[in-house]
Structure 1
Amino acid sequence: MKVSRNQIGKKRKHQESSANTSETAPEDTVASTMDANDGFTFTEVNSVKASSMKVISCHFSADGKWLATAGHDKKAVLWYTDGLKRKSIFEGHSSLITDVCFSPSMPYLATSSFDKTIRVWDAGNPRNSLHTFRGHSTCVMSVDFHPNRDDLICSCDGDGEIRYWSITNSNCARVFKGGSAQIRFQPRLGRYLAAAEDCAVSILDVETQARRHLLQGHVKPIHFLCWDPSGEYIASVSEDFVRIWTVGSGDKGECIHELSSKGNKFYSCVFHPTNPSLLIIGCYQSLELWNMTQNKSATLPAHEGLIASLAVSNATRLVASASHDKFVKLWT
């Protein structure tokens, strides 16, 4: 089977501290080559039809052995990353699942849904959810586990309400405002929470909820947030732009890189697991590979629908793409 591949940029460290669907697999395509002498490749290694409906979220377990997917069919599916063989199905939500994520330290999986609930599951036992958190008054749009505190998860809803939940006590620990599209804890340190609402991103102190930065510049709603592994940088994605911001210790929340979509609608993104200068952007049908320090990009045909979610495993160095075309793919 042919695989898609692309070459882009040298490995460099940071120089600064509803789409159409298809019932059949997209045809494999050889993409254009950028700066081939640098020898960087990005290749599709596996693909599977993950659902009979749109897939809108994916996430790797901390060890990279499992991949979770979820979307419009109201189910979360757990896959063995090796071979993309299905392990188990998690059912219980009464409406589509908006987000799925693994705990970084426990064998837990969390899902958020239009049914206004968040569920926490034992990844090894899909029969029933361990916890069902209720309290949001509208659709829950995103959920995330704190990187260091096993007990703490966070969610946001379409009205901009953010809630902290205690897994141990099975209750809501705190309620405040600030995120309506997506929330993501800062990796490793977990000091900050990034929350996207409309055209701005708030960087909030996890303990006090005080806003440290308000990242403004997008003119269209932000769909997706992604931290780099160090927790010093964050990418924000709207339909027309991707922006990279400095938000680590001592930074001022400045935009240091930006890329225009030039009509190729952006939706999701993830930092490449081995090339810190490379951002992978999910678009309609294609991936955009952007070398931020060289400000060069190349387009890689990838799916037949919107690429709604991207995930990376630093353990296996794999990237996953989930699409409205009902497929999930692995790349390296």
Structure 2
Amino acid sequence: MQALSLTIEKEFAQNSERIKSVDLHPTEPWVLVSLYSGAVCIWNYQSQTMEKSFKVTESPVRSAKFVAREHWIVTAADDTFIRVYNYDTTEKIKEFEAHTDYIRSVTVHPTLPYLLSCSDDNVIKLWDWEKDWSCTQIFEGHSHYVMQVAFNPNDTNTFSSASLDGTVKVWRIGSAGPEFTLEDHLKGVNCVHYFIRDNKTYLLSGSDDFTVKVWDYETKSCVQTLEGHEHNVTALCVHPELPIIITASEDGNVHIWHAATFRLEKRLSYDLERVWTIAHSKGSDKVAFGFDKGIVVVKMNGHVDLQA
């Protein structure tokens, strides 16, 4: 058996109106929260106080991310606009209409001045902020809403996308069509995340079929299906420091899976209704969850004996 000892302590909890996204700052004790009401706020989970709060739009802000190297927050909303703010001053730096339908999520390139956005208009767009936020590429190929995009940490010229057409597609910046498509889910796919284990690349995808699939990136095959959620899987990630997979669902539960055995190790419930979003930060033991009725930041410590 491969033994996992894991302690999870609640660091911060705050009741809130409906949360659509959370993001953790890489160096400050801040969690960025975007709300269905169209506002964003930054909570300090150490001092348990709100640092900033401001209204972005009248529409739901489905995605908000820190760009720490620029001292920015980037927001994307149902009104089809992307907006950029300086998080020190809350001054709006840029605002532009990015898509023709709701923007589901944005993701920031780890090193280059790039932002990816994906939308209910079925396309993904690449934006270059050093070129005054010009759209440098449009990625077409999905036949339904594109829910999430994620950069490949091993090859940041490539990224994957999750769509309600039931597929995960892998793309390369500069190439017109997808490199390949993964099809095994029975319903729409809401979230996607890269997973590196033993120098091998895997993809995780979470779906409205209530399952999470683990894909071998090289063979393009599904190697494991994680079953246990009782409703749509809305968010997932691999813990940046511990070999665990974290998944969240509209069933209100967070599941912790052993990343080597894929066994369900823990089920967390905070009675805040549906879970919509998870955030983590490299080098940090903190994980944030956003729910219909609030936010929870937990500290995760653990040890996995893979030779046990």
| Same-fold status (TM-score > 0.5) | yes
Corresponding position: 1:60 with 2:71: no
Instruction: Name the CA distance, whole Å, in 1 between partners of 2:224 and 2:129.
Output: 35
Corresponding position: 1:194 with 2:200: no
Corresponding position: 1:205 with 2:205: no
Is the Cα–Cα contact under 8 Å of residues 137 and 174 in structure 2 kept in the other structure?
Answer: no
User: In the alignment, what sits opposite 2:29?
Assistant: none
Instruction: Name the CA distance, whole Å, in 2 between partners of 1:42 and 1:273.
Output: 22
Residue among 274, 291, 296 paired with 1:288: 296
Is the Cα–Cα contact under 8 Å of residues 62 and 77 in structure 2 kept in the other structure?
Answer: yes
Is the Cα–Cα contact under 8 Å of residues 272 and 292 in structure 2 kept in the other structure?
Answer: no
How much has 1:107 moved relative to structure 2? 0.9
Corresponding position: 1:258 with 2:267: yes
Alignment CA distance shift 1:204-1:97 (3 Å): same
How much has 1:40 moved relative to structure 2? 5.5
One-letter amino acid of the structure 1 residue matched with residue 277 of structure 2: S
Instruction: Name the CA distance, whole Å, in 1 between partners of 2:277 and 2:142.
Output: 25
Question: 1:176-325 alignment to 2 at 5 Å?
Answer: 176-177=182-183, 178=185, 180-186=189-195, 191-198=201-208, 199-230=210-241, 232-239=243-250, 240-247=252-259, 251-262=260-271, 264-271=273-280, 276=285, 278-290=286-298
Question: 1:57-206 alignment to 2 at 5 Å?
Answer: 57-61=63-67, 63=69, 65-177=71-183, 178=185, 180-186=189-195, 191-198=201-208, 199-206=210-217
How much has 1:202 moved relative to structure 2? 1.1
SS in 2 for 1:259: strand
How much has 1:105 moved relative to structure 2? 2.1
Instruction: Name the CA distance, whole Å, in 2 between partners of 1:191 and 1:224.
Output: 19
Is the Cα–Cα contact under 8 Å of residues 272 and 280 in structure 1 kept in the other structure?
Answer: no
Instruction: Name the CA distance, whole Å, in 1 between partners of 2:162 and 2:168.
Output: 4
How much has 1:173 moved relative to structure 2? 1.2
Instruction: Name the CA distance, whole Å, in 2 between partners of 1:25 and 1:80.
Output: 13
Is the Cα–Cα contact under 8 Å of residues 280 and 287 in structure 1 kept in the other structure?
Answer: yes
Which segment is superposed worse, 134-143 or 53-62?
Answer: 53-62
Uncovered stretches (5+) of structure 2, i.e. residues with no partner: 1-7, 12-16, 19-34, 303-308
Alignment CA distance shift 1:156-1:272 (3 Å): closer
Which segment is superposed worse, 263-272 or 280-289?
Answer: 263-272
How much has 1:127 moved relative to structure 2? 4.9
Is the Cα–Cα contact under 8 Å of residues 90 and 126 in structure 1 kept in the other structure?
Answer: no
How much has 1:267 moved relative to structure 2? 2.2
Instruction: Name the CA distance, whole Å, in 2 between partners of 1:289 and 1:283.
Output: 11
Instruction: Name the CA distance, whole Å, in 2 between partners of 1:92 and 1:40.
Output: 35
Instruction: Name the CA distance, whole Å, in 2 between partners of 1:23 and 1:68.
Output: 13
SS in 2 for 1:154: strand
One-letter amino acid of the structure 1 residue matched with residue 256 of structure 2: I
Is the Cα–Cα contact under 8 Å of residues 57 and 98 in structure 1 kept in the other structure?
Answer: yes
Is the Cα–Cα contact under 8 Å of residues 237 and 268 in structure 1 kept in the other structure?
Answer: yes
State the TM-score, normalizing by the size of structure 1.
0.70
Is the Cα–Cα contact under 8 Å of residues 46 and 83 in structure 1 kept in the other structure?
Answer: no
Instruction: Name the CA distance, whole Å, in 2 between partners of 1:40 and 1:101.
Output: 26
Alignment CA distance shift 1:86-1:187 (3 Å): farther
Is the Cα–Cα contact under 8 Å of residues 118 and 132 in structure 1 kept in the other structure?
Answer: yes
SS in 2 for 1:106: coil
Instruction: Name the CA distance, whole Å, in 2 between partners of 1:23 and 1:201.
Output: 30
Instruction: Name the CA distance, whole Å, in 2 between partners of 1:10 and 1:117.
Output: 38
State the TM-score, normalizing by the size of structure 2.
0.75
In the alignment of these two chains, the number of paired residues is 268
How much has 1:9 moved relative to structure 2? 4.5
SS in 1 for 2:131: coil
Alignment CA distance shift 1:245-1:41 (3 Å): farther
SS in 2 for 1:129: strand
One-letter amino acid of the structure 2 residue matched with residue 193 of structure 1: L
How much has 1:292 moved relative to structure 2? 5.5
SS in 2 for 1:124: helix
Instruction: Name the CA distance, whole Å, in 1 between partners of 2:99 and 2:38.
Output: 24
Which segment is superposed worse, 189-198 or 71-80?
Answer: 189-198
User: In the alignment, what sits opposite 1:312?
Assistant: none
